Structure 1
Amino acid sequence: MTVAEPARWGRALGQAGRATLHLFLAALLAFGLYLFITVLLITAIATVSVVGAWLLPETVLLIRRIAGAKRTLVTAWTGREIPEAYEPVTGPLRKRLRIAVRDPGTLTDLRWMAASYVYGALFFLALPLWPLGLVVDGVRCGLGRRAALVLPWITRLADVEAGWSEALLKPSPRARLAARVEELAATRTDAIAAHGAELRRIERDLHDGAQARLVALSMRIGLAVRAYDHDPRAAQRLLADAQDQAEEALTELRHVVRGIHPPILTDRGLIGAVRALAAISGLEVAVRVDGLEGEGVRAPAAIEAAAYFAVAEALTNAAKYSGADRASVVLERLRTGLRAVVRDEGVGGADESGGGSGLPGIRRRVAALDGSVTVTSPVGGPTVIEVELPCVW
C-alpha cells in the first residue's frame, strides 16, 4: 500500500459513512410515510363526510412539513437547495380548502409521496447494512478488493436516491409562476407604500422648510416695499433679511432635490457620487470599483439611484451606530447587474426591526427594482450590507 492509499481510503470511508447516514435517514422518512397513510385515509373520509373538512388544510400543511424535511435532507447531501413554492393556507375555512386543493405545490408533494411509497420501500429494504459488513470485512483484510467495490456503490446509491427526490420535489413551472406573481404583488405593494411615504416626506420638507422660508421672504419684501418711502434704512435691513431668507430657501430646495435624485449622479455618475459620499461620511472610507470604470459604462438611472441611496444609508448607519472609524465600499459590475457592498468594522448587531436603522427602506427601494439585500451583522462585527440590482449593460 502506498503512502497516499490510507488517505484515499479514509476519504472513501468518510464519504461512504455520510452516504449511509443519508440513506438511513431517507429510509426512516420513507417508513414514516407509510405510517402517514393512516392520516391520509382519515382525512379523506372526514373530507368526504364534510363534517371533518377542516382536516384537509391541516393535513396539507403537515405534508408540506414532511416534504420540507426531505428537501433539507437532500440539500445536505447534494449541496443544492430545493426551492419551495407554496401558497399560504390562510383565511376562512372555504378559502383554506380551495388553496389546499388547488395549490400546485400540493400536487408536487403528493406526487413525491406516491413515488416514495415505491422507491422508498426499496431503499428501506436495501438499507446498506450488508455492504457495511463487507466494508468491515474489507478493513479486516486490509481494505481489499471487496471494500473497493462496496464503497462507491453506497455513494452512488445515495446519489440516486437524492436525485430522484430532488427531481420530484422541485416546484412545477406553474407553482414557480404563482410564487413569482405573489412575490411581485408584494413587491409592488411595498413599492407603492414606499412611493407614498417618499411623497409625504417631500411634501413635509417643502411645507416645513422651503415653503415656510418663502412665506417669510414674501413678508420681508412686502414690509420693505411699505417702508421704502418713509424709512429707506429699515427697507434696506428688510431686503437684507429677505436675501438671507432666499438663500436659505434655495438651500432647502437643494436638499429636497437631492432626496429625489441627487444631481451629482447625473453630473459625475455613480462612482463619483459614492466617492463624494465617502468624503463627507465622517469615516475613513475606502472605495473600490470593479468593472465600472470606462467610457460609457453606466447602469440605468434608477439602478444607480438605488445603489447610491443604499450606500448613503449604510454609511450613515455606520457613522451613527457602529462605533467604527473605518469602512469600505465596493462597487462591482456583474454579468447580470450591479453589486454594492458596504462593510464596517464596528460593534455589529444591526437590527432591522428598529425604526431608525433605515435598512427596511433600503430593502423596499431595492425590491422595487427586483433586487436583493443581504445584511450580515453578528454581535461584535463586522457589519456587511450587500445590495444586488439586476440590469442590462
Structure 2
Amino acid sequence: MRTTVRQAGRATVHLTVAAAMAFGLYLFITVLLITAIGTVAVIGCWLLPETVLLVRRIAGAKRRLTAAWTGREIPEAYRVIEGPLTERLRTAVRDPGTLTDLRWMAAYYVYGALVFLALPLWPLGLVVDGVGCGLLRRRAVVLPWIVRLADLEAGWSTALLRPSPKALLAARVEQLSATRADAIAAHGAELRRIERDLHDGAQARLVALSMRIGLAKRAYDRDPDAARRLLDDAQGQAEQALAELRQVVRGIHPPILTDRGLVGAVRALAAGGGPHVTVDVAGLEDDGPRAPAAVEAAAYFVVAEALTNVAKHSGSAQATVRIARMRRGIRVEVADEGQGGAEESAGSGLLGMRRRVAALDGTVRLSSPVGGPTVVEVELPCVW
C-alpha cells in the first residue's frame, strides 16, 4: 500500500502540473487568435515566427514534464528560425515541428480537460489518516486509477510530441551541415596554424641554414677556420629546424599516440609539468581494443587544451582527468578547482575544441561558474 500511495503522490503532482498547463493553453488561445488575425492582415505577420517560438517553449516544457514521469526523453527536431523576416516566416511555416506542436496543442485542449474532470478523485484517493474501512477500500481502488490516468496522459503526449521521421531527418541534415561547417573551419584553422609554425619557425631556420652554408662555401678557400665556424652554426640551425618540424608533426598527430595509445599519451601529458594532474581511466586497458586514430587524436587534444587552460587561466594547482570507455564511444572529463569563468569567446581554445569534437559528431559540455570549479566533458562516438 505504501508503494501505491507513493506512486499516486507522484501521479498527483504530474497531473496537477498538466492541469495547470492545460488551463494556461486555454488562455493562450488569445495569442493564437491575435497572431492569426495579424498574419492575415499582413501588418502583424512578424508575430507568426515569435508565436511559433513561444509554442516551441510550451511544447518543450511538456516534453520535459512527460519525460520526468515516464523516464524516457522525447527528442526535439526544429529548424532554426533566424535571418530576415521573410526567411523567418518561411522557416516557421515549413518546419515540420510546427505542425507537430500545433497538432499536440489542439489535442491537448481535449484530453487536457480530462485532467480537470479527474480532480475530484485525488482527495478521495489520498486519504492517509483517520479513515474507515469503506474509505480504505475506496482508496485502494482509486489510487491505481490515478497512476493509470497519469500514464495515459503521458502516453498521449509522448505520441503527439514525438517528431515525425521527416522532422528528424531535416534536423539531422541541419546538424550535419553545421558539423561540416565546423569541421571545415577547424581544418582551415589547423592549416593556418601549421603554415604559421612552418613560416615563423622551421622555414626561418632553413633560410638561415642556407645562408650559413653559402657563407661557409665562400670562406672555405681563404679562411678555413671561419668556414668551420659557419658550418658549426649551420649544424645548430639544422638541429633547431628539425626540432621545430617535430613539434609541427606532433601538432598534427602526436607520435606518442601511436606508440603508447591514448592512456599512455594522456599520462605523459599529466607528467609534463604545471599543475598536479590525476588521471583516472576506466575500461581502456593497455592490451584492449583501441579507438580509431581520429578519435584518439581528438581526445588527446581535448585533454591537452584543457590542461593548458588550467595552467594559464584557472589558477588551480591541481586537475583531474577522467577517461572512460562507453559502449559506443569515449568519454573525457577534465576538472579543476580554479577560479572558473571560462568562456568560449575569451580565446581560451574552447571554440577550437568544440569544432574538433563536432567534426566527429561528438558533444562538448562546459561548466565553469565564476569561482569554480571548471569541468569540461566530452563524448566522442566510435565503434569498438
TM-score by length of 2: 0.90
Amino acid corresponding to residue 112 of structure 2 in structure 1:
G
Contact persistence 1:138–1:144 (CA under 8 A)? no
Q: How far, CA to CA, are the matches of 1:232 and 1:376 in structure 2?
A: 64
1:351 to 322, 342, 345: 342
Matched, 1:223 2:206: no
Q: How far, CA to CA, are the matches of 2:78 and 2:130 in structure 1?
A: 48
Amino acid corresponding to residue 58 of structure 1 in structure 2:
E
Instruction: Tell me how far 1:374 sits from its aligned partner.
Output: 2.4
Q: How far, CA to CA, are the matches of 1:155 and 1:176 in structure 2?
A: 31
Amino acid corresponding to residue 367 of structure 1 in structure 2:
A
Q: How far, CA to CA, are the matches of 1:89 and 1:289 in structure 2?
A: 42
Contact persistence 1:40–1:59 (CA under 8 A)? yes
Contact persistence 1:307–1:340 (CA under 8 A)? yes
Deviations 1:180-199 (A, max 9, x none): 11111111111111111111
> SS state of the match for residue 118, structure 1?
helix
Alpha-carbon spacing, 1:199–1:145, altered in 2? closer, same or farther (3 Å): same
Q: Which residue of 2 aligns with 1:193?
A: 185
Contact persistence 2:368–2:375 (CA under 8 A)? yes
Alpha-carbon spacing, 1:231–1:385, altered in 2? closer, same or farther (3 Å): same
Alpha-carbon spacing, 1:381–1:114, altered in 2? closer, same or farther (3 Å): same
Alpha-carbon spacing, 1:69–1:326, altered in 2? closer, same or farther (3 Å): closer
Q: How far, CA to CA, are the matches of 2:31 and 2:365 in structure 1?
A: 40
Q: How far, CA to CA, are the matches of 1:379 and 1:51 in structure 2?
A: 45
Q: Which residue of 1 aligns with 2:256?
A: 264
Contact persistence 1:135–1:146 (CA under 8 A)? no
Alpha-carbon spacing, 1:33–1:258, altered in 2? closer, same or farther (3 Å): same
Structure 1 range deviating more: 202-211 or 93-102: 93-102
Matched, 1:135 2:126: yes
Q: Which residue of 2 aligns with 1:181?
A: 173
Amino acid corresponding to residue 123 of structure 1 in structure 2:
V
Matched, 1:241 2:233: yes
Q: How far, CA to CA, are the matches of 2:63 and 2:184 in structure 1?
A: 35
Amino acid corresponding to residue 124 of structure 1 in structure 2:
F
Q: Which residue of 2 aligns with 1:170?
A: 162
Alpha-carbon spacing, 1:326–1:61, altered in 2? closer, same or farther (3 Å): closer
Instruction: Tell me how far 1:277 sits from its aligned partner.
Output: 1.3
Between the two proteins, the alignment pairs up a number of residues equal to 383
Contact persistence 1:86–1:103 (CA under 8 A)? yes
Instruction: Tell me how far 1:295 sits from its aligned partner.
Output: 4.0
Instruction: Tell me how far 1:134 sits from its aligned partner.
Output: 5.1
Alpha-carbon spacing, 1:318–1:36, altered in 2? closer, same or farther (3 Å): closer
> SS state of the match for residue 144, structure 1?
helix
Q: How far, CA to CA, are the matches of 1:306 and 1:119 in structure 2?
A: 49
Instruction: Tell me how far 1:368 sits from its aligned partner.
Output: 0.5
Instruction: Tell me how far 1:318 sits from its aligned partner.
Output: 2.4
1:308 to 292, 300, 304: 300
Q: Which residue of 1 aligns with 2:352?
A: 361
Amino acid corresponding to residue 53 of structure 1 in structure 2:
C
Q: Which residue of 2 aligns with 1:88?
A: 80
Deviations 1:321-380 (A, max 9, x none): 334443333332222112223333x22514123534222221111110011122334455
Residues 103-142 of structure 1 mapped to structure 2, 5 A cutoff:
103-127=95-119, 129-133=120-124, 135-136=126-127, 139-141=130-132
Q: How far, CA to CA, are the matches of 2:34 and 2:356 in structure 1?
A: 48
Amino acid corresponding to residue 237 of structure 1 in structure 2:
R
Q: Which residue of 2 aligns with 1:208?
A: 200
Q: Which residue of 2 aligns with 1:148?
A: 140
Residues 35-114 of structure 1 mapped to structure 2, 5 A cutoff:
35-114=27-106
Q: Which residue of 2 aligns with 1:374?
A: 365
Q: How far, CA to CA, are the matches of 1:283 and 1:29 in structure 2?
A: 51
Matched, 1:16 2:8: yes
Alpha-carbon spacing, 1:134–1:175, altered in 2? closer, same or farther (3 Å): closer
Structure 1 range deviating more: 141-150 or 214-223: 141-150
Q: How far, CA to CA, are the matches of 1:109 and 1:132 in structure 2?
A: 33
> SS state of the match for residue 343, structure 2?
coil
Q: How far, CA to CA, are the matches of 1:104 and 1:187 in structure 2?
A: 22
Q: How far, CA to CA, are the matches of 1:175 and 1:76 in structure 2?
A: 23
Amino acid corresponding to residue 54 of structure 2 in structure 1:
L
Q: How far, CA to CA, are the matches of 2:40 and 2:347 in structure 1?
A: 53
> SS state of the match for residue 298, structure 1?
coil
Amino acid corresponding to residue 267 of structure 2 in structure 1:
R
Alpha-carbon spacing, 1:320–1:52, altered in 2? closer, same or farther (3 Å): closer
Deviations 1:261-304 (A, max 9, x none): 11122222222222221221434333343333254622111111
Q: How far, CA to CA, are the matches of 1:59 and 1:379 in structure 2?
A: 35
Contact persistence 1:28–1:124 (CA under 8 A)? no
Contact persistence 1:138–1:145 (CA under 8 A)? no
Amino acid corresponding to residue 113 of structure 1 in structure 2:
M
Q: How far, CA to CA, are the matches of 1:351 and 1:308 in structure 2?
A: 20
Amino acid corresponding to residue 340 of structure 2 in structure 1:
G
Q: How far, CA to CA, are the matches of 1:59 and 1:286 in structure 2?
A: 50
Q: How far, CA to CA, are the matches of 2:238 and 2:128 in structure 1?
A: 93
Alignment RMSD: 2.5
Contact persistence 1:281–1:315 (CA under 8 A)? no
- How many percent identity over aligned positions? 73
Structure 1 range deviating more: 152-161 or 36-45: 36-45
Instruction: Tell me how far 1:214 sits from its aligned partner.
Output: 1.0
